[in-house]
Amino acid sequence: MKILGISLMILVSLMGMSFTIDIFLGFDLKTSIRNAMSPFKVMEFVEFMIFLLFVIILLGRSLVGFFKKKKLLQPK
């Protein structure tokens, strides 16, 4: 429960910071809210590729751990 609360607090803090920066940069309220609510739409191509690489590595490590635990992947 603590992890969920901390994750939610970090999410709200970062979205608030993003929203505040957008307002200070001169974006209107609608654009600031859209940017804060949909971070993947404002990502550049390289940022999106790094995000996908991170997700692939995270899932790959989880799957390897799962298969090792189930004895389906035997180390040599």
Tens-digit pLDDT profile for residues 15-55:
889 889 998 999 998 988 888 777 777 788 999 899 899 99
3-state helix, strand, coil split of the chain in percent (to 5) is: 75, 0, 25
- Supply the pLDDT for residue 5: 85
Are 31 and 21 spatial neighbours (Cβ–Cβ below 8 Å)?
no
Please determine, for residue 73, whether its predicted confidence score (pLDDT) is greater than 70.
Answer: no
Are 22 and 9 spatial neighbours (Cβ–Cβ below 8 Å)?
no
37, two tokens? 């609510």
Residues in Cβ contact with 36 at an 8 Å cutoff, skipping those fewer than 6 apart: 15, 18, 19, 22
Report residue 71's pLDDT band, with 50, 70 and 90 as the boundaries.
Answer: confident
- Supply the pLDDT for residue 21: 92
